[in-house]
Amino acid sequence: MDNKKRKAIFAGSFDPITNGHLDIISRASKLFDELQIGVLINPNKKGLFSLEERVKLIELCTKDLDNIKVIEFEGLLVNYCREHGIDTLVRGVRSEADVNYELQMAHMNKELDSDIETIFLPTNKQYSFVSSSLIKEVLKFGADVTNLVPKEVLIALENKTR
């Protein structure tokens, strides 16, 4: 019997984390012994929240899930996975466009490391239109995003956009 710990990673920029992300995290956490949330360091992107703020928000929003580990990384995800004994990537998909893009990424990751598997979790339909970019866009016009982000993120957004 193989007693190897089942580890996976759900990676993204999470600027900010949304209820859609949390839905995927919650569901994926039930499938693995450890689920890492990989916060991407992208030096070419200026986000609304700093890397440290994004990590802290994710930690706050996932504090009730005992098998979550929030990490930051840069470079190729498959390299991080190889170095940390992770063989499964978790990806959330909202639409056909997401599936097409994520399928390309899954094939490329498999090409780069044949031991990497990607699982796709369809988003809960109530969050099928939600993205961090869209949240930031509608906030510029004073929209109410209370039902789309966790309360910790709502407070942080209000502090950032005042």
Task: Verify whether residue 132 is a known catalytic residue.
Answer: yes
Please identify which of the residues 4, 5, 30, 45 carries the catalytic annotation: 45
Task: Verify whether residue 21 is a known catalytic residue.
Answer: yes
Please identify which of the residues 29, 91, 132, 136 carries the catalytic annotation: 132
CA distance 98 to 18: 17
Question: Nearest-CA neighbor of 139 among 120, 125, 160, 122?
Answer: 160
Separation of CA 103 from chain center? 17
**Which tokens is 77 given?**
């995800």
> Which residues is 89 bridged to in the sheet?
9, 118
Are residues 51 and 22 in contact, defined by beta-carbon separation less than 8 angstroms?
no
Task: Verify whether residue 45 is a known catalytic residue.
Answer: yes
**CB atoms closer than 10 angstroms to residue 28:** 23
Please identify which of the residues 21, 54, 91, 136 carries the catalytic annotation: 21
The full DSSP string for 14-63 is -TT--HHHHHHHHHHHTT-SEEEEEEE--TT---SS-HHHHHHHHHHHTT
Residues labelled catalytic: 21, 45, 94, 132
